[in-house]
């Protein structure tokens, strides 16, 4: 089953074609990487998929249903969550409160009691290995922790599809391998992952499939090793 499908997506910022007639899909249970040089339109594509901006034209199907131009909170309620390239956390709150807010508002059909919420949040923190950091104020956290907290917060909305926007950039080698493990773990929990990443090592390690973007359109799509051998991809990244 196709978890996410984009049909002929085009987005223009004035005269700039940020996304140009992009076609892509993500199967259920897959980890798909989205790569491309800076300014290729990757984050714009994520913004379109998550509802932050409305595409100039084209359609987005999520679990086979049209979600084009729908408001972000409704898309979130349908089971899609995302993280941001530059972390967007509620900085004056503690990590716990960040996640609590997501748990309470991300699951509108559930009525969650205080105790139950606390238990669930602690579980989420435990999964991401940051149980001891849960009462820290966000502004005292390292970038690696903040990025991980964004994932915890996204998970609290109980998503089936998780969009990760450069969660691994700026991490140390140790943090990187931890993050890669975590992402595989998330897949084992039944969550489909669509991720933008610049760290090639990570992409090759965890992704089932890689989509390459250049100037707003898809230039390659396949397994990491196939894409690595693709002549157009090599030209884009390395020049002739």
Partner 1 sequence: MLISTIFSKRKFVLSMIVLSVLLLAIAPLFTPPYVTISLITILMYVILTLSWTMFSGPTNYISLATAALFGVGVYSSAVLKDSLPLVLIVIISGLLSFILALLIGLLTLRLKGVYFILFTFGVTALIRNAIQWWEIHFTLTVGRHVSGPGNETVYTYLVIIYSLTLIFMFLLQNSSYGMALQGIGENEDAAEHIGIDVTRLKVLTFAVSAIFMGAAGAVMATRWRYIDPTIAFNPLLSFLPVLMAIFGGTSMLGGPILGAVIFTLLQQYLITEYPYLYMLLMGLTLVIVILYLPGGLLVLVMKLYIRLVIQWAKTKFQWQMLKTRWQETWRPRVSMALAQWRLRMGWRLGRKRS
Please give the residue ranges that form the binding site for partner 1 (CB under 8 A).
50, 52, 71-73, 76-77, 81-82, 84, 88-93, 97, 100-102, 104-108, 137, 153-154, 156-157
Of 37 and 137, the one with the shorter C-beta distance to partner 1 is: 137
Environment class of 146 (CB within 10 Å of its CB; exposed 0-12, middle 13-18, buried 19+) = middle
Least CB distance from residue 112 to partner 1, whole Å? Answer: 10
| Residue partners of 33: CB distance under 8 A and separation at least 6 | 195, 196, 197, 203, 206, 207, 209, 210, 211, 224
Of 13 and 90, the one with the shorter C-beta distance to partner 1 is: 90
Of 47 and 217, the one with the shorter C-beta distance to partner 1 is: 47
Least CB distance from residue 211 to partner 1, whole Å? Answer: 22
In sequence order, what are the beta bridge partners of 137?
94
Of 98 and 217, the one with the shorter C-beta distance to partner 1 is: 98
SS3 191: coil
Write out the two tokens for 8.
Answer: 């002929």
For residue 221, give the H/E element and its range: strand 217-222
Q: How far apart are the C-alpha atoms of 106 and 99, rounded to whole Å?
A: 10
Least CB distance from residue 101 to partner 1, whole Å? Answer: 5
Residue 10 and residue 58 in contact, taking contact as beta carbons nearer than 8 Å: yes
Least CB distance from residue 103 to partner 1, whole Å? Answer: 9
Of 147 and 218, the one with the shorter C-beta distance to partner 1 is: 147
Residue 82 and residue 162 in contact, taking contact as beta carbons nearer than 8 Å: yes
User: In angstroms, how far is the first alpha carbon of the chain from the final one?
Assistant: 39
Least CB distance from residue 57 to partner 1, whole Å? Answer: 23
């Amino acid at each position: 089953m196709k978890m996410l499908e984009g049909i002929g997506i085009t987005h223009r910022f004035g005269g700039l074609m940020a996304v140009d007639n992009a076609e892509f899909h993500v199967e259920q249970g897959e980890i798909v990487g989205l790569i491309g040089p800076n300014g290729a339109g990757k984050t714009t594509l994520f913004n379109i998929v998550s509802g932050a901006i409305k595409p100039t034209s084209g359609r987005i199907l999520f679990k086979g249903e049209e979600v084009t131009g729908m408001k972000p909170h409704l898309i979130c309620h349908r089971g899609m969550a995302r993280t941001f390239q530059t972390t967007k956390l509620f900085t004056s709150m503690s990590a716990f409160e960040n996640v609590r807010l997501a748990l309470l508002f991300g699951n509108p059909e559930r009525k969650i009691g205080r105790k139950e919420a606390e238990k669930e949040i602690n579980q989420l923190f435990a999964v991401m290995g940051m149980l001891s950091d849960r009462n820290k104020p966000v502004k005292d956290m390292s970038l690696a922790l903040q990025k991980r907290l964004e994932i915890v917060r996204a998970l609290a909305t109980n998503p089936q599809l998780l969009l990760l926007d450069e969660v691994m950039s700026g991490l140390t080698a140790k943090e990187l391998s931890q993050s890669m493990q975590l992402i595989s773990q998330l897949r084992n929990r039944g969550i489909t992952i669509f991720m933008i990443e610049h760290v090639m090592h990570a992409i090759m390690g965890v992704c089932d499939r890689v989509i390459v973007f250049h100037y707003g359109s898809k230039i390659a799509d396949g397994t990491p090793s196939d894409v690595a051998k693709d002549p157009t991809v090599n030209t884009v990244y390395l020049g002739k």
